[in-house]
Amino acid sequence: MTAPIVRFTDERLANGLRLIIAEDHLAPVVAVCIWYAVGSKNEVPGKTGFAHLFEHIMFQGSRHVAKTEHMGLVQAAGGTLNGTTWLDRTNYFETMPSHQLELALWLEADRMATLLEALNQENLDNQRDVVKNEKRSSYDNRPYGQWSNKLQEHLFPPEHPYHHPTIGSMEDLDAASLEDVASFFRTYYAPNNAVLAIAGDADPAQARAWVERYFGEIAPNPKIPPLGDLSLPATLGGESREVVEDRVPLPRHYFGFRAPRFGDPRLDALDVAAQILAGGKGSRLYRRLVREERIAQDVAFFALPFIGGASMAAGQATVRPGVDPDIVERAFEEELERLGREPVTDDELARARALIETYELEALQRVDERADRLAMFATLVDDPDLINRQLERYLMVTPAEIQAVAAEVFRPDNRVVLTYMPAAGPAGMGEDEESAA
């Protein structure tokens, strides 16, 4: 089975907006995806969580769109939508029946051009409450909920903008003001800081004309402040450990490592290594820790790619009742370190390749995934054609490359070990909580 080639055009409007169009008429569906090169790494001290709060404000209306109307118009058109915020970027997307493409483009343009005209204190306060409840649901009121925030804290030094979590702190969310929203918008939500990808059942000439019409006159910001040097040493320089008492019934280890940056071919090798380590029941960690030794309830391993300084490779293992957590930790680490010492077998690599091929083809079937990847590769590594080369890059990874990246990354002095232990009383409280008032 060969991967279908995603043909696309890649151009810039006069105001700097990067426009990528991938035409495909299989289904009567079109995806619009806009990525802004701004994320939680652009937040300043005292304003953590702001990029994400801002994402919520983007759904509170603009000059020609009332509060909540964005969602109403898209859904009434038979579309789906959302937005997400992460360290390096913020994205907004709509998947529409193809005859409703123009509506999605207009909605995105209206908020890029006129968001501040609808901004008010009431909407900011409302969405601040919603986001604080999102933080409670997704992190604070959830067993093991703070793991990713804690791994970031350990892997990136305090002065590095990946040190703090995207969801931010309650105090900082409370501190967000209308002036902050206006200044963030004027600084980062400019056409020259965005990539707009359209994938699916669209006529490219018509789509291009609509984009010119709605986005063409939006003023760029020639002075987007650069972030400065985010580079980091490739390794942590010493193991970092923390024991977290939480209201959990079973102990669980989380492991974190600094890893090569997004776009680095060594990260492709690490992704293949992750498949061999924990991708399903045939994988090494599952086989040994869950199936054979029966010391873990579950295992996972994956890489989270970032562009500034280092990516994060992360793993987890939940300890079975009655098992010494140290035994689980050692077995997990042994398997990681073994990858750096001896090459993977031909059969393991063949199975990993076959599975990765299916996953990639499965994902690329959908227009929303194609638009998302085109915008992602353009925004983060200035190379949208990676959408057509990523699979090949995975399939070319050799046993020697896996061994090399494993030896580089899975070192004790590059390791964070976070161990959740059952607490006696109410736990998971204290940090990041505001008072009952």
Partner 1 sequence: MTLEEVLAVRPSPGQPRAYSFPKFERTVLPSGLQVLAVHVPGRPLVSANLIFRTGAADEPADLAGATVLTARSMTEGTERYPGLELIEAAERLGSTLHADASWDAFAASVEVAASRLRAALELLDELVARPTFPAEEVARLRDERLNDLLQLRAEPRRRVEQAFSQTIYTAESPYSRLAGGDESTVERLTRDELRTIHRAVLSPDRAALVVGGDLTGLDVPRMAEEVFGSLARDGSGASGGPGAPLAGRAPVANPAVDRPIVRLYDRPGSVQSEVRIGHVGLPRRVPDFHAVQVMAAILGGLFNSRLQLNLREEKGYTYGVGAGFDMRRGAGPFGVRMAVQTAVTVPAISEALKELRRMRETLVTDAELALARDYMVGVFPLRFETPGAVVGAIGGLFVNDLPDDELARYRGLVEAVTAQDVRQAAQDHIHPERLAIVLVGDADVVVRDLEAAGFGELEVIHEEPPGETDGPGAPGGAEEGE
Residue among 5 and 436 whose Cβ is closer to partner 1: 436
Distances (CA, A) of 272 to 279, 291, 299, 331: 9, 21, 16, 20
Question: How many residues lie near partner 1 (CB under 8 A)?
Answer: 97
Map the footprint of partner 1 across residues 289-308, applying CB under 8 A: 290-291, 294, 297-298
d(CA 69, CA 71): 5
Write out the two tokens for 166.
């995207």
d(CA 197, CA 372): 7
Per rule CB under 8 A, is residue 7 in the interface with partner 1? no
Map the footprint of partner 1 across residues 385-424, applying CB under 8 A: 422-424
Q: Give the shortest CB-103-to-partner 1 separation in angstroms.
A: 5
- Figure out which of the listed residues 11, 12, 14, 141 binds partner 1, where binding follows CB under 8 A: 141
**Taking CB under 8 A as the rule, which mask of x and - marks residues 39-68 in contact with partner 1?**
------------------------xx--xx
Q: Give the shortest CB-109-to-partner 1 separation in angstroms.
A: 7
- Figure out which of the listed residues 119, 224, 355, 404 binds partner 1, where binding follows CB under 8 A: 355
Write out the two tokens for 142.
């959830």
Residue among 245 and 337 whose Cβ is closer to partner 1: 245
Residue among 189 and 257 whose Cβ is closer to partner 1: 189
Q: Give the shortest CB-268-to-partner 1 separation in angstroms.
A: 18
Per rule CB under 8 A, is residue 205 in the interface with partner 1? no
Q: Give the shortest CB-229-to-partner 1 separation in angstroms.
A: 36
**Taking CB under 8 A as the rule, which mask of x and - marks residues 93-132 in contact with partner 1?**
--xxxxxxxxx-xx--xx--xx----------xxxxxxxx
Which range binds partner 1 by CB under 8 A, 160-168, 178-186, 299-307, 320-328? Answer: 320-328
- Figure out which of the listed residues 137, 177, 231, 345 binds partner 1, where binding follows CB under 8 A: 137
- Figure out which of the listed residues 167, 248, 272, 313 binds partner 1, where binding follows CB under 8 A: 248
Would you say 17 and 197 are in contact if contact means Cβ atoms under 8 Å apart? Answer: no
- Figure out which of the listed residues 350, 382, 400, 431 binds partner 1, where binding follows CB under 8 A: 350
